[in-house]
Structure 1
Amino acid sequence: MSSRKRSVRITTAPRPVGPYSQGIVGGGLIFTAGFGPQDPVTGEVAEGVEEQTRQVLRNISAVLAEAGAALGDVVKATVHLQHLHRDYDAFNRAYREFFVEPYPVRTTVGSELQHILVEIDVVALAPAPSS
């Protein structure tokens, strides 16, 4: 791997099911994979979009923490909802529990997801390198 980027790999977030990283740090930013709502310990998926959203954001938070950041450092979120019109308001209720103003910019789309209701990936500011 290039010294200009590094992979973030942890056991406290769902493991990749393909050839991708949980996160990449490079160029002063942290990019996460799209995370679903699987509990990293049990593999279970909660019912309902609100609890699934909470688990997705806990998964993302764990990856960001490993890279030295937090949800407050997120500048961009991309959200995929299985049922965009049905679940949008419930999703937003849970999402607001994790973010404060100024909120990250966000794209929210309806997507065909495999057995889950929500998937999210983010871009966050990486901590400044120590000198």
Structure 2
Amino acid sequence: MSSTRKIINSPEAPQNPLPLSQAVQVDKTLYVSGQLGFTKNGELVEGLEAQTRQTLDNIGHILKAAGTDFLNVVKVTVLLQDISDFSEMNKIYGEYFKERFPARVAYQVGQLPKAGALVEIDAIAIVGDLKEED
């Protein structure tokens, strides 16, 4: 049995000059590449709160382009420049994930791929109906 691979791109999220896709969908599973706090015009916003919000907004645009949303996100990875920013990041994160929380891991990293970047987030989501079970 073969799988179907589809590249997902949203014009509302920043376009990356690196050799990577904003997201790749394989069958019903969507893999969203790590997003930083860039506007769609390529400007890095300032401060952890603004970067976290912009990063999650970018993920939201990509999810929408794939026909899904935050409710269908099943796994998230958060990379922080400074782990002491975890609580502040988590407050913003909670505005986007309000129920049916995805599995998540968070790390402090030595350096993010852009000077001044404080947070990077990637996600794995399901496209289509997702049946909930207790």
TM-score in terms of structure 2 length: 0.87
Q: Kindly report which structure 2 residues correspond to 1:1-131, keeping only aligned pairs within 5 A, or say none.
A: 4-41=4-41, 43-85=42-84, 87-111=85-109, 112-113=111-112, 114-115=114-115, 116-127=117-128
Percent of aligned pairs with the same amino acid: 36
Per-residue deviation, 1:3:
6.5
**In the comparison of the two structures, how many residue pairs are matched?**
125
Q: Tell me the SS of whatever aligns to 1:45.
A: coil
Q: Tell me the SS of whatever aligns to 2:96.
A: coil
Structure 1 runs, 4 residues or longer, greater than 4 Å off: none
Q: Tell me the SS of whatever aligns to 2:34.
A: coil
Q: Is the 8 A contact 1:81 1:119 kept in 2?
A: yes
Uncovered stretches (5+) of structure 2, i.e. residues with no partner: 130-134
Q: Is the 8 A contact 2:71 2:99 kept in 1?
A: no
Uncovered stretches (5+) of structure 1, i.e. residues with no partner: none
Per-residue deviation, 1:68:
0.2
Q: Give the whole-Å Cα distance in 2 for the aligned partners of 1:18 and 1:46.
A: 20
Q: Give the whole-Å Cα distance in 1 for the aligned partners of 2:12 and 2:46.
A: 21
Q: Tell me the SS of whatever aligns to 1:56.
A: helix
Amino acid at match of 2:92: A
Q: Is the 8 A contact 1:77 1:121 kept in 2?
A: yes
Q: Give the whole-Å Cα distance in 2 for the aligned partners of 1:94 and 1:34.
A: 17
Q: Tell me the SS of whatever aligns to 2:68.
A: coil
Q: Give the whole-Å Cα distance in 2 for the aligned partners of 1:75 and 1:108.
A: 15
Q: Is the 8 A contact 1:75 1:104 kept in 2?
A: yes
Q: Give the whole-Å Cα distance in 1 for the aligned partners of 2:74 and 2:126.
A: 7
Per-residue deviation, 1:82:
0.5
Q: Tell me the SS of whatever aligns to 1:80.
A: strand
Q: Is the 8 A contact 2:24 2:31 kept in 1?
A: yes
Amino acid at match of 1:61: G
